[in-house]
Amino acid sequence: MKSTTRFRQLIERPEVLPALGGYDALSATVAEQAGGEVVYMSGSSVSTSVHGGPDVGLTTMTEMVERARSMVEAVDVPVFCDADTGYGNPLNVARTVESYERAGVAGVHIEDQTFPKRCGHFEGTDVVPVEEMEQKLRAATDARTDDDFVVIARTDARATAGLDAAIERGYAYADAGADVLFVEALRSEAELRRVAETVGGEVPLLANMTEGGKTPLYAAEEFEAFGYDVVLYPATGFKAAAKALQDVYREILTTGTQEGVMDRLLSWSERNELTGLDAVTEREQRYATDDSDAA
């Protein structure tokens, strides 16, 4: 089954779909091995891992697509991705969709922020006119060659114009062809429920769970009860990895040894199992030659 078709089926099932956020091939592999049915490529996590700074629109489309391709090649489950603003006008959006689709991605979300964009939970975001975003969505759906490729419309209007404006944009984006709606940075259960009770009747809904952001933390089952279909956990893994690096590096520099953190590291065998060393060794042996027979 195509990954795009599988992704659509997972969105359409009655149970909410948790989407663990990754940022490279290894994090995607860990997410899949943990039981993730999909992997989400977090733009925020990729951005920070590429240039070491905040998510303020510094990462390019080609950097994002190349990272997506490596994640797709590492796992068997569908991978869907942050595509920021589409990296320009509707023609840029079309090229973005074409590039992600060729990389094997199952879907993308495109947002209505102005450029340069920034994390939707930062202060200082702004949005483009609704008509501009509608044209981007039409360009996105026209550009895909696989009708099952999922185009997710994200609106950041809640932060700039309020909940009513965000809902109005949701209706407009559904009419423009979006397969799923993502209303970013909702502030409460009441707001989440209102989106579900209104525009949720038009298209499936995606919610974002980012720790420390503007949306309170809710469990996946709660989102299902609210009426949502997909829940992102975009940067949880990245922040866990970064915290572990901080702690381990400080321990080594303070004590001169890693002995004090050995219980927090993968063992030698666990690392080899995670990276599939046995399978690689088997392939090496299949193509090995006996030097004694040479000549």
Write down the catalytic residue from 23, 32, 40, 158.
40
Active site residue 81: no
Helix-strand-coil split of the chain, %, nearest 5: 50, 15, 35
Q: Is 89 known to be catalytic?
A: no
> Does the annotation mark 287 as catalytic?
no
Cα 20 from chain centroid? 8
Structure tokens at 242: 């970064």
- Catalytic position from the list 24, 32, 101, 111: 111
In the residue annotation, 208 being an active-site residue is answered as yes
Pairing mode of beta strands 107-111, 150-155: parallel
Rounded distance between C-alpha atoms, residue 142 and residue 148, angstroms: 12
121 is catalytic: no
Is residue 40 part of the annotated active site? The answer reads: yes
State the pairing for strand pair 150-155/180-183. parallel
Q: What does the chain come to in residues? A: 295
Considering the candidates 32, 82, 101, 134, report the single residue annotated as catalytic: 82
Query: Which one is catalytic: 24, 32, 55, 112?
Result: 55
**263 carries an active-site annotation:** no
Q: Select which of 24, 156, 184, 229 is catalytic.
A: 184
| Marked catalytic residue, from 24, 32, 84, 229 | 84
Catalytic residue among 154, 158, 169, 194: 154
Residue tagged active-site, from 8, 67, 69, 109: 109
112 is catalytic: no
List the catalytic residue out of 119, 121, 156, 169: 119
Q: What is the DSSP letter of 194?
A: H
Residues with a catalytic annotation lie at: 40, 55, 82, 84, 109, 111, 119, 154, 184, 208
